[in-house]
Amino acid sequence: MSNSTDGPRLVKCAKFQRELPGLPAPPWPGELGQRIFENVSAEAWGQWEERMKMLLNEYHLKPWEKEAQALVANFMEEFFFGEGSALPPEFVPENDKAQ
Helices (H), the chain: 30-39, 42-58, 66-81, 94-97
Residues 33, 23: Cα–Cα separation, whole Å = 11
Residues 26, 35: Cα–Cα separation, whole Å = 8
Determine whether domain 10-83 maps to CATH 2.130.10.10: no
Q: In this predicted structure, what is the pLDDT of residue 99?
A: 44
**What 3-state class would DSSP assign to 90?**
coil
Q: In this predicted structure, what is the pLDDT of residue 83?
A: 81
pLDDT by 10s per residue, the chain, length 99: 544 456 789 999 999 999 999 999 999 999 999 999 999 999 999 999 999 999 999 989 999 999 999 999 999 999 999 986 766 566 555 555 444
Q: In this predicted structure, what is the pLDDT of residue 92?
A: 59
pTM over 0.85: no
Question: From residue 67, how far is each of 34, 78, 84 by CA, in Å?
Answer: 21, 17, 25
Using CB atoms within 10 A of its CB, is residue 4 exposed (0-12), middle (13-18) or buried (19+)? exposed
